[in-house]
């Protein structure tokens, strides 16, 4: 449930908390709703992608986030990951763990942590030990990231990309990452006993279907068709990855779909399930 509340008569439990970190700023320096980078923070401990992780974390969050799941190596999903590790280099008492497929890890090593763009942090140490380590996971096999159980499957994007099913043992959510029409993600989600929330991309307006097809993203109309593959009902559906230049148009098209519990995720707001 969005914005969950407790009453005195209800048993109080820790809710799964998810925040889309801000990645754009207005002229006055305040965070805006426009999403140019992708970084979801879960329970202030685990990050799904790392676009703005080095820019938007609070000081408390910087001290607690030690696990980063990378769905794919496009810049808007990893842009400030090197900055995050670099800023913490001297104070880390345990390494930043980068969870990704072996293929994605190889691309990060080739294109980012290559001693040209940024140092090979996985090979460096501070006085406490290693500062970053890669933790490869296998497609379709559950793995742990901090307190979370995660399963990844391929989605349909122009580079190797995974969608995720994530659970803390009580709540279960899914992330589409960047994708066009896809199949394996829906099969994975439909096998889950419950689904509390789905984070699904809606990059371009319907008028730009040709560009969406070429870049392998979704429009609102395509999103609607993808949801017909989903067997679960009653979950919150949060549209993300809306290109800022088309934000108003995409939001209006999403509203016109009339899909129950479909909203646009707000950067900087903490959601609970």
Divide the 273 residues of the chain into consecutive groups of 10 and give the mean pLDDT of each group: 43 80 82 91 99 97 98 98 98 98 98 98 98 99 99 99 98 99 99 98 99 99 98 98 98 98 97 98
| The last residue of a domain, from among 87, 102, 136 | 136
Pair (118, 145) in one structural domain? no
pLDDT of residue 181: 99
| The last residue of a domain, from among 78, 102, 136 | 136
Domain count, the chain: 2
pLDDT of residue 13: 53
Q: How far apart are CA 13 and CA 267, in angstroms?
A: 25
Pair (25, 132) in one structural domain? yes
Pair (117, 62) in one structural domain? yes
Pair (44, 105) in one structural domain? yes
Pair (153, 262) in one structural domain? yes
CATH number of the domain where residue 107 is located: 3.60.15.10
Pair (151, 249) in one structural domain? yes
Q: Is residue 255 part of a domain?
A: yes
| The last residue of a domain, from among 120, 136, 152 | 136
Q: How far apart are CA 97 and CA 86, in angstroms?
A: 14
Pair (118, 187) in one structural domain? no
Pair (224, 237) in one structural domain? yes
Pair (193, 79) in one structural domain? no
Instruction: Using DSSP, state whether 153 is helix, strand or coil.
Output: strand
pLDDT of residue 169: 97
Q: Is residue 273 part of a domain?
A: no
Pair (237, 163) in one structural domain? yes
Candidates 206, 208, 207, 267; CA nearest to 238 is: 267
Q: Is residue 121 part of a domain?
A: yes
Q: Which two tokens stand for residue 112?
A: 């980012």
For 265, residues 6+ apart whose C-beta sits below 8 A from its C-beta are 20, 199, 238, 239, 240, 271
Q: Is residue 7 part of a domain?
A: no
Q: How far apart are CA 98 and CA 190, in angstroms?
A: 27
pLDDT of residue 7: 37
Range of the domain at 53: 16-136
Per the listing, tokens 């999103």 go with 223
Pair (160, 209) in one structural domain? yes
The dihedral formed by the CA atoms of 227, 256, 216 and 40, expressed in degrees to the nearest 10: -80
For 45, residues 6+ apart whose C-beta sits below 8 A from its C-beta are 64, 65, 66, 67, 146, 147
Q: Is residue 271 part of a domain?
A: no
């Amino acid at each position: 449930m969005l914005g969950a509340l407790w009453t005195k008569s209800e048993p109080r439990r820790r809710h799964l908390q998810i925040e889309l970190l801000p990645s754009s700023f207005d002229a006055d320096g305040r965070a805006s709703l426009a999403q140019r980078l992708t970084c979801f923070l879960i329970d202030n401990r685990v990050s799904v992608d790392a676009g703005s992780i080095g820019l938007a974390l609070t000081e408390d969050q910087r001290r607690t986030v030690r696990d980063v799941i990378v769905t794919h190596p496009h810049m808007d999903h990893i842009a400030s990951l090197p900055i995050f590790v670099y800023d913490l280099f001297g104070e880390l008492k345990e390494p930043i763990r980068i969870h990704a497929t072996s293929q994605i890890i190889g691309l990060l090593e080739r294109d980012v942590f290559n001693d040209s763009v940024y140092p090979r942090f996985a090979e460096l140490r501070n006085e406490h030990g290693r500062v970053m380590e890669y933790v490869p996971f296998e497609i379709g096999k559950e793995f742990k990231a901090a307190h979370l159980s995660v399963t990844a499957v391929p989605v349909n994007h122009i580079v190797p990309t995974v969608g995720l099913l994530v659970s803390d043992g009580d709540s279960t959510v899914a992330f589409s990452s960047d994708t066009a029409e896809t199949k394996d993600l829906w099969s994975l989600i439909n096998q889950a006993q419950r689904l509390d929330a789905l984070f699904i991309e809606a990059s371009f307006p319907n008028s730009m279907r040709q560009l969406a097809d070429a870049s392998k993203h979704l429009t609102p109309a395509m999103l609607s068709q993808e949801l017909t593959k989903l067997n679960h009902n009653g979950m919150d559906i949060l549209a993300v990855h809306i290109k800022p230049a088309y934000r108003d148009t995409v939001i209006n098209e999403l509203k016109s779909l009339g899909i129950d519990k479909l909203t646009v995720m707000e950067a900087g707001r903490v959601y609970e399930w």
